[in-house]
Amino acid sequence: MMEPVFHFELDCDVPVPDGTEELLLRCARCCMRAEGVTLACGAYLRFTDDENIHQLNREYRQVDRATDVLSFPSAPFTPRQTAGLAPQLLHREWDSDLRVCMLGDIVISMDHVRSQAAEYGHSVTRELAYLTVHALFHLMGYDHMNDKDKEQMRAMEEKALNAAGISRVSDDELIAKAKEAMQFSYSPYSKYKVGACLLAADGRLFTGCNIENASYGATNCAERTALFKAVSEGAREFVAIAIAAEKSLPWPCGICRQALNEFAPTLRVIVACGDERDEMNLQELLPHSFGPSTGTGDYLGKD
């Protein structure tokens, strides 16, 4: 699965934190994956202050106040015909110079970013990521004019933010949950306790431990215990897994990599042992993989 292509045309009236463009590009690619858009896309993104965004609100929305973000879509998408469902509309926005489909314009007030981050008790980074993701889904046809549309849009935002590593659940919390699960390990043969915590795209957490058996073939790894528990409870999309052990960094075995790839080929895999930790993407751990998104039927010789 190739990384989606996204391009921002940036305009900064005010200073922004270092690394902002890289952060928001990561978020944009996660939005594209969540929506199922494969065409190269882009957007104009302007960072400004409350005074300028207040003026834009008066001019374009007849709203006499500053807001945190404005979005101006290029294509006439609707909540029932979003970018992923209407590629023909997306094609019309092709920019031959930039070689991307330009989704529209986004304006973000850094004054609001800082004040809302302080109000909600999270980082400026998370607030920037959320407002950009929110605006991008507006550009792709989502809205929140009624409860149903709002719920759908919010679910997509959470899915993209989780995939970008901007989850409400921190990596530290995932690792802590994995370490808790490790304590329930049944490992009398290997003496190697492992715990895992799997983060679903909808924000739910599922934990598991390794469960050994006198017949080694019946042994189940912590990763698959967590995965099977999640799937049995209706979860089908996942964005991160933390795996903890006591003796060494517990990279998942080949079978676990394949099992996880069935549902989440772009999964973030975080491993921890004591204070040591590392992270890789599942695509790096399982290159040239096969699964539902890569033509399993062809591989298995099915029609």
- β-pairing, 238-245 vs 194-200, is antiparallel
Task: Residue 103: name the closest of 70, 136, 61 by CA.
Answer: 136
Please determine, for residue 297, whether its predicted confidence score (pLDDT) is greater than 50. no
Cα separations in angstroms, 89 against 25, 68, 203, 294? 22, 28, 31, 26
Percent of the chain with pLDDT over 70: 96
The tens digit of pLDDT for each residue in 122-162 reads: 789 889 999 999 999 999 999 998 999 999 999 899 889 88
8 Å CB contact between 209 and 225 = yes
The domain locations on the chain are: 6-163, 171-300
The tens digit of pLDDT for each residue in 263-292 reads: 999 899 999 999 999 999 999 999 988 888
Could you list the active site residues?
223
Alpha carbon 61 to its chain's center = 31
Global confidence as pTM = 0.67
DSSP string, 119-161: HHTS-HHHHHHHHHHHHHHHHTT---SSHHHHHHHHHHHHHHH
Q: First vs last Cα of the chain: how many Å apart?
A: 21
Q: What is the mean pLDDT of the chain?
A: 92
As a whole number of angstroms, the distance between CA 180 and CA 183 comes to 6
* pLDDT value for 298: 44
What confidence tier does 294 reach under pLDDT thresholds 50, 70, 90? low
Please determine, for residue 83, whether its predicted confidence score (pLDDT) is greater than 80. yes
As a whole number of angstroms, the distance between CA 123 and CA 116 comes to 9
Cα separations in angstroms, 175 against 1, 141, 178, 249, 272? 27, 36, 5, 12, 7
- Range scoring the smallest mean pLDDT among 1-15, 54-68, 211-225: 1-15
**Structural element, H or E, at residue 207:** strand 205-209
* pLDDT value for 2: 64
8 Å CB contact between 272 and 265 = no
Q: CB count, 10 Å around CB of 205?
A: 17
* pLDDT value for 6: 97
* pLDDT value for 168: 74
Lookup result for tokens 């995939």: 163
* pLDDT value for 301: 43
8 Å CB contact between 97 and 36 = no
- Decide if domain 171-300 falls under CATH 3.40.140.10: yes
Please determine, for residue 22, whether its predicted confidence score (pLDDT) is greater than 80. yes
* pLDDT value for 299: 43
Architecture category of domain 6-163 in CATH:
3-Layer(aba) Sandwich (3.40)
- Range scoring the smallest mean pLDDT among 1-5, 150-154, 173-177: 1-5
What confidence tier does 259 reach under pLDDT thresholds 50, 70, 90? very high
